[in-house]
Amino acid sequence: MNRNLRNAIIAFLAPLPSIVFYLSFLRSYSPTSDPELSHIHSWCSNHPLLLANLLFFLNVNFLFWVIGLLQSSHWMIDVYWTVIPVMLVHYFASHPLGEYNKWRSMVVVILTWVWSVRLTHNYFRRENWEWGAREDWRFNDLRKQYGKHWWWLSFFSVYVSQQIFLIGICLPLYIIHSVDAPLNIWDFVSSAICLTGIVMAYFADTQLHEFVTQNQKLKEQGKPKIPNLDTGLWYYSRHPNYLGEQLWWWGLVVFAWNLGQGWTLIGALVNTLCLVYVTILVERRMVKQEYRAEAYRAYQKTTSVWIPWFKSQVAAAVITYSPNKNKPTMGKILALFYVSLICLGLSVSPVDAYGRRQLRFNSNGRFKILQVSDMHYGFGKETQCSNVTPEELPYCSDLNTTSFIQRTIASEKPDLIVFSGDNVNGMCESGDAAKTMNMAFAPAIEAKIPWVAILGNHDQESDMTRETMMKHIVKMPYTLSEVNPFGSGIFPIDGFGNYNLQIEGPFGSPLFFKSLLNVYMLDGGDYVKLDGFAFNYDWVKSSQVNWYEHASKWLEMEYKRWPFPQKSTAPGLVYVHIPVPEFKRFTEPRQMTGVRQEQTCSAPINSGLFTKLVERGEVKGIFSGHDHVNDFCATLNGVNLCYAGGSGYHGYGKTGWARRVRVVEAQLEKTKYGRWGAVDKITTWKRLDDKNHSLIDTQLLWSKNTTLDTNYRFKCNKIKQH
């Protein structure tokens, strides 16, 4: 048996132990028979990432290392560098705990196969289609450097290090098959980056292969070799193949980042830094070869290292070869790398109207939300007030609403302001809704406080549709509002102004990157447009309820994931203008904190939003406006239903009953180590626009120690159930 055939058989048989073990595990696994699983299979089903590392350690690190010692060559790890990512992507996709979007998974699996086929083809083309003809030149150098100690050092430097690199850079593949989120524009961006990297690496490696082949022929003919490859992609970059490979891995990082797991960049970052070092080693080797040293030094001075660019002295100034020390300048290589990384990050970072300022709890562990509802803003100082005393009427206008909001901002210093609908008066009164909105939201903008808005049933009754109003709002300063969530172009959602906000932990907290409070904004619509529902208020549609459920489950998974996984779910709040029908249940003063002074004007159809909130169990309060002289809070099935009360002087009110706003504050708990942890309690109160700017009806909405009444379910113990 010749060496080539023998090495091919070894390469095919080497991974079989882990493959056979995993397939036997999948065959024996069944969700309905978990208690009967062996301890080993039970552990495998609950720890997919640890299992992948264990199989890698035993099968690759140990077995491949033993084979390498017996053959005095560690060639096989190079072959499997091109194959292991394919094995891992199928492993993550088939694991029982896998939960993912099938279309995203399909795209990533196909891209991984294309990447693997390209790299495997390039490897065997370079090796003249032979198995194990030689090992990596860097391993040869290390073998000479460490001599008799190489046999045991090779285990760490060749295999353990490869596990760190390969598992690290494949972490996005794990995330892709752990989060079931709808496709959005960033999936297309990620795919484009990956595909660009694969194509670039293919052409760069093909041009390099043709160059090496041509030089080999010249050598056989006794002619001088061409000292340097300076055509094709290599005309613009000294290492375009390295750049293509890095684009592939960073494209996978963008996939994971889009799924809320940006921490997975650590694998690609380490791999990139290592490739920077490899670049240095390669360039040292180039200038040591006499026939090409002079030409390569000139090439270094005019050609960019990685990023393709036109030949110029400017490029040489960014990174050049240092003839005095006979090696490239490390600092300049790293500088170029970090600048490139920042540019890549900026090019793929979603930016909203506020510049993506992340909301987070303050250093005191608090986050305060000011809800302003039903301003019904008109023309400013020319607008007449409604339901005020005769003494106030001559001097009252929209400016009273502005003044009230300004003094409340000054008193409360909120972290976020929510304008919860009927922000402008509508009712065919104004012919310039944009100007009216600019005046209505001015107090938040002037205070430079993040703010969001949703629409009520009157907002669009002017010269703008609901869609154009939200598109105007999202362009205003300091707003975090969105027209609709990412992906709504692919998976349509009813209404305009459906989105969520994630309030992350304070600086210095271990939960700095986790959303500790989730705020959902929903468009409750205006009026029903179906026949048979004349002058009835609209309801939250099933597409919006489905979006909420999906977003809620995604955020729960993030909250319970590494790092610092939490056992429970983060609390949530919902803001929607028109109250859900469940508000109607509360009619007695003893049932509520606050007052009811008018009936609840909700939709004639119950679309199931409240039921879904109860099922999910995370939302602790749903906050509405619409009914101006109701301001109560009441609890139903663990969810607080709260009115804000009317804040605007142009909208109807009640004479002698002050306009008001609602404040909600979440407070974090202190961990046993004295650092801020999860949300401990949520409280609320109201601010009145009276002489004393009164603070009333402070109440605890929810605390971590809150427990619901026990559900005593009937169970028949006499009859065996099956």
CA distance 572 to 720: 40
Q: How many CA atoms lie within 13 A of 540 on its CB side?
A: 29
Q: Which of 34-43, 224-233, 621-630 has the lowest mean pLDDT?
A: 34-43
538: nearest Cα among 484, 604, 583: 604
pLDDT at 345 over 70: no
Residue 149 has pLDDT above 50, yes or no: yes
pLDDT digits (tens, 9 = 90+) for 568-619: 899 999 999 999 999 999 999 999 999 999 999 999 999 999 999 999 999 9
Per-residue pLDDT band at 720 (split at 50, 70, 90): low
Identify the residue with better confidence: 46 or 408. Answer: 408
Task: pLDDT band for 1, please (50, 70, 90 cuts).
Answer: low
- Residue 198 binned pLDDT confidence (cut-offs 50, 70, 90): very high
Of all residues in the chain, the percent with pLDDT exceeding 90 is 58
Predicted local confidence at residue 531, as pLDDT: 81
- Decide: residue 290, CB within 10 A, 0-12 exposed, 13-18 middle, 19+ buried: exposed
CB 528 within 8 A of CB 537: yes
pLDDT band at 260 (very low <50, low <70, confident <90, very high): confident
Q: To 5 degrees, how large is the angle CA 200–CA 205–CA 209?
A: 155
Residue 277, SS3 per DSSP: helix
pLDDT per residue over 291-340, tens digit each?
888 888 888 888 888 888 887 554 333 333 333 333 344 444 444 444 44
Is the pLDDT score of 271 beyond 50?
A: yes
| Per-residue model confidence (pLDDT) at position 718 | 63
Per-residue pLDDT tens digits for 52-104: 999 999 998 899 999 989 988 888 888 888 999 999 999 999 998 887 889 99
Q: pLDDT tens, 443-474? A: 999 999 999 999 999 999 888 999 999 999 99
pLDDT of residue 471: 93
CA dihedral defined by 610, 611, 615, 620, rounded to 10 degrees? 20
H helix runs in 47-81, sequence order: 48-55, 65-71, 76-81
Q: pLDDT tens-digit profile of 347-402?
A: 333 333 223 357 999 999 999 999 999 999 998 998 999 999 999 999 999 999 99
Q: Which of 113, 250, 277, 107 is nearest to 171 (CA)?
A: 250
Q: What does the alpha-carbon distance between residue 486 and residue 481 come to, in Å, rounded to a whole number?
A: 13
- One DSSP character per residue, 595-609 reads ---S-----SS--SH
Q: What is the pTM of this model?
A: 0.58
SS (H, E, C) 345-400: HHHCCCCCCCCCCCCECCCCCEEEEEEECCCCECCHHHCCCCCCCCCCHHHCCHHH
Section 437-441 average pLDDT: 96
pLDDT tens, residue by residue, 607-666 = 999 999 999 999 999 999 999 999 999 999 999 999 999 999 999 999 999 999 999 999
Q: Which two tokens stand for residue 334?
A: 């790293």
Return the pLDDT at 707. 67
Cis omega (within 30 of 0) for bond into 182 = no
